[in-house]
A and B are shown apart, each in its own frame.
Chain A
Amino acid sequence: MEEQQQTRNILEHQQGLIDFFIAGSRPIVSILLAFLVSGVFIYLQGKNPLVAYAAVLRGSFGSIVAIGNTCVRTTPLLIGALGMTLGIRGGLFNVGGEGQLYLGAAAATAVGLLPLPVPSWMHILLAIIAGILGGAFWALLPALLRAFRGISEIVVTIMLNFVGIYFVSYLVHEPKLLAQEGASYAQSRTILESAILPILVKGTSMHLGIIIAVILGIILHFVLKYSTFGFRTRMVGANPEASNYAGVKVKYSLLITFLIMGGFYGLMGTVEVLGLKYALYDNFSAGLGYETIAVALLGGANPIGVIFSAFFFGALKAGGNLMQQTVGIPSSMVQVIQALAVLFIVGFGFMRRKSSSYKNDDSARSLDDANKGIGDI
C-alpha cells in the first residue's frame, strides 16, 4: 500500500520534471496574464494598450541606447535580487534592502569623494568595499535580533528602511557631511572621476555594473550548488532543526547570511552612485529595494532564474519611461504589471507554502482536506 503510494509520488515527480519546462513557462504565463489585465486597464484609461506595449518594447530593446538603458535598470535590481535569493534560500525574508542600499550608497559616496592617491581601479574597488560594508552594517541589527532572539526580521527591517532613508537624507542636506552646497535638490557633491565606473559602450549609459551583476549571479549559483557554505545555508533555510542535529551552528549561519545579504544591497546602492548618478541624491531610490523582492520571487529564488527575471524587470522599467513619454500612461503602471505577475504566480501555486511534502500524511493527501481549508497557513 505504502509502496503504491510511493510509486505514485515518484511518477508525479518525474512528470513534474518533464513539466518543469512547462512549469518554467508558468512565470511566463503569469507575465502574459499580467500584461493582459494591465492592457485592459490601459484601455480603460483611453489609450491603446498595443501602442503602449510597443513603446515599452522600443524603449527597452529598440536601439543600442535602449539596450543600454535596460542594462542600467537591470543592474541594481539584479544585484539586490541575488542578495534576496541568498536570503530566501537561507531562511530569511529581509525586506530591508531599501535601507541597506541607501547606507551602502552613502558609504561608497564618502569614499568616492576622497581624493585618494591611487589608480582609478583601486578607487572604485575601495568605494565598492565601503558600500558593501555600509549595507552589511545596516543589516547588523535585524540580523542579530533574528539570529539570537528569533525576532522576525520583516517589521524591523521595514522600520529601519525609513530610518536609513531619513539618515541619508540628513547626510545630503548637511554641507559639513556629504551635501552639495547650493544645490536646488538635495544631493551630495559629485564623486571624483577616478571613482566612476567605466561606460562599456560609448554613447550609452551602459556601465560596468551589469557585468559585475551577471558575474555575481553565476558565482552565487555555483556557491549555492557546489560549496559547503552554500549547502549549509540551504540546510538552515530548509530545516533548521535537522541542520542543528547535523552540527550546523544555525544562529551563526543566519547571521552571516543576513550580513552578506546586506552587503549585496550595499553593492546595489553603490553601483547606482558610481555608475549612473555620480552623486548621492536625496530619495534616489523610489522603492528599488522592494522591487528586488518581486524580482527574486519571480525568478524562483534561483540565481539563474533571477538573472532572467531582473532583465525582464529592467526592460519593463526602461520601456516604461518611453511609454510614459509617448503614450502618457504613468510609468507606475509598470509596478502594476509587476504586482499582477507575482499575484498570478502565487495563484498558480508556483509559490506554494511548504506543506508536509510527504503525501501519505492524512492531512496532506486529501483534496477534500484542501477544500475545507484545513491546515496551518
Chain B
Amino acid sequence: MNEHISLLQMKGITKKFPGVIANDNVSFDVRSGEIHALLGENGAGKSTLMNILYGLYSPDEGEIQFNGEQIQISSPKVAVDSGIGMVHQHFMLIENMTALENVMLGLPQDKPPLLDVQNTRAKFNELVEKYGLEVNPDLPVWQLSVGKQQWVEIIKLLFRDVKLLILDEPTAVLTPAEAHQLFKTLRFLIEEGRSIIFITHKLEEVQEIADRITVLRDGLVVGTVDKEGTTLAQLSTMMVGRSVTLARKTRPSMSKKEPILVIEGLRCKSDRGVEALKSIDLTVHSGEVLGVAGVDGNGQSELAECITGLRQPIKGQIKIKGELVKSVINDPPLLGYVPEDRHKKGLIVDFSITENLVLRTYNDPPLSHWGIIDWGQAQIKSEKLVDEYDVRTPNVLTPIGMLSGGNQQKVVLARETSAQPSLIIGSQPTRGLDLGAVDSLHELLLRERNRGAAVMFISTELSEVMALSDRIIVMFNGEIMGELVGENADLLQIGEMMMGHQLKTISDTGRIS
C-alpha cells in the first residue's frame, strides 16, 4: 500500500439548504484499498456529504473525481453504475420480500422483464460462501436478525461489484460482537482492492477500524489524519472543538433511598405477538438513576410501555409507590415519561408549545374550569417553564415542529418533570440530539435524581449509560443479564451481557465460554 492511488476525490463540495450551510467547501480523498472514516457529531454534515456522493443530493459547488475521471452524480443510479454503493443507517430493505428479491430490485436482468431467479440465487450463494456472510436468500427480510439484514445490504452492493462502499453508522444497531464480525468482513473487502468510507460519531470505532480519518464539524473539514499517531483526545477535540468525552458527572450520594418502582415477574408480548419480556424483576429507588443498556429491540421499549400502562403485561406486577399499574397513568406528580419517538408519542407536532405543555394537565383546575380552558393561564405557565428549562423559542405560541430536536426534547422533559414526579422514565431520550443538547438533558435528569426522583434511563448509547447511571442493568432478549454499579463499570462486562451472557457466567469462570 505504498502507492497512494486516489480512488475518490471530493473537491470543494458546498451544499446549502435554506438558512444553513450543510457542507462548506469540503474536500477529502479516499485511496484504493483503504478504510476511511468520516467522523463528526450529529449535524456535522457527514450524511449530507455522502448523500451527495450517492446522488441523492446535488452539490451547489465543487466536483467529484472517481477513478481518475470527473463525474456528475445526478442520481443513485449514476452512483451505482459508477461503482459506488451505500449502506444507510436505516436499512433500505423491503421487509416483506425475501433477501433475493431485495437484491433483484433495480438489478439489470438477463432477459428483461423476466426475473432471473435461478441465476441470481446461484450467485447469491456464491457470495455467501466467499465472504462468509451466512444469509438464507429465501427468507423474508423481517425474519432476519439486524446483523444479517446488514449483510443483505452488503450483498446487494457486492452484486453490483461496487468499488467504493459507504457505510453510514453501521454499528448503531449491532452488538459489540456483531460489530467485530462486520469489521472482519470489511477488511476482507479491502484486501480485494475495494475502498470503504465509514461514517461514525464513535471515537473508539475509528481507532479500531480506520486507516485514515477525516473529521467534520459544522459543515467544515477540520482535518484529515492518519490513524497512526493520533490520539482519541486529539480526535475528540477536532470533533467538538473542545475536549469532551462523556465524563461521569459528580453527584451527591443519596442516603434515604426508598423503593419507588418495583417490578416482579413481568412478562409481556410485543406487537408481533412474540414474547418481549420473559421475566423481569427490578427495583428503582428514589434518588438514583438506573441505566438500562442493551441493543435496541431486546424488550426495552416494551418495558417502558408496561411501566407507564401503555401495554398490558401477561403476568407479573408493577408497583409505583406501592400502587399497582393497571392502565395508562396520567398522574404528573407520580410519573413522568419521555418516550423514545417524540414525534410519534411525546409531542403533537402541529400544536403550539403551550398546547404541548398542557397535554396532561388541561383537564383540571387551574387550567380549566367546567370544561373551558383558560389559555391565558396556560400561556403564563408555559412561559415560566420555557424559561426554567431553557427552551430557545421566540414565544410559546410557536408550533413545536419548528423547534430543534434538543429544544423539543426539553419541552417534553419540562412537561414531564415540572410536577416533580416520583418516577421518571426516559426511553432513548437523547436520540438524534447533538452533544450540546445531550449534555443539557443529562444535567436535567441528574437534577431530578438529586431532588429525590427515581430515574430509569434507557439508552443504546453505552457511553451515556455509563456516564449517567448509579446502577446499570443490561437487557438481552427480554431478560436482565445482570446488574453493575455505575461507578467504574467494566465496559467489557457490559458488552458480554449485551451479547446474552449472564453476569454470573463471566465472573465465575473468568472467561467467556
Contacts and interface: CB of A to CB of B under 8 A. Distances in A.
Given A3-B392, A228-B373, A241 B344 contact: yes
A227 B371 contact: yes
B350 A247 contact: no
Contacts of A21: none
A246 interface: yes
Contacts of A366: 17, 56-57
Contact of A10 (B47, B355, B402, B405): B402
Contacts, number: 129
A249 to B, nearest CB: 9
Contact of A2 (B75, B362, B404): B404
Interface stretch (B96-104, B244-252, B393-401, B456-464): B393-401
A283 interface: no
A235 B57 contact: no
Given A8-B20, A247-B328, A358 B308 contact: no
A357 B371 contact: no
Given A245-B339, A247-B360, A13 B348 contact: no
B437 interface: yes
A247 B330 contact: yes
A245 B345 contact: yes
B406 interface: yes
Nearest to B437: A2
Given A2-B437, A228-B362, A357 B404 contact: no
B362 A231 contact: yes
A244 B47 CA distance: 34
B372 interface: yes
Interface residues of B, number: 55
Interface string A191-235: 000000000000000000000000000000000001111010011
Interface string B400-422: 01111111100000000000000
Between A3, A234, A242, the greatest number of chain B beta carbons within 10 A of the residue's beta carbon is seen for A242
Nearest to A235: B348
B306 to A, nearest CB: 14
A242 B351 CA distance: 12
Contacts of A7: 19
A6 B402 contact: yes
Given A6-B392, A358-B408, A368-B58, A242 B348 contact: yes
A155 B17 CA distance: 42
Contacts of A365: 17
A5 B20 contact: yes
Interface string B6-20: 000000000001111
Given A228-B371, A357-B399, A6 B407 contact: yes
Interface of A: 1-14, 226-229, 231, 234-235, 238-239, 241-247, 354, 356-360, 362, 365-366, 368-369, 372
Given A5-B404, A238-B350, 19 more contacts: A1-B219, A8-B19, A8-B20, A12-B402, A13-B399, A226-B375, A228-B363, A228-B371, A228-B372, A228-B373, A241-B345, A245-B308, A246-B330, A356-B349, A358-B349, A358-B401, A358-B405, A360-B405, A372-B56
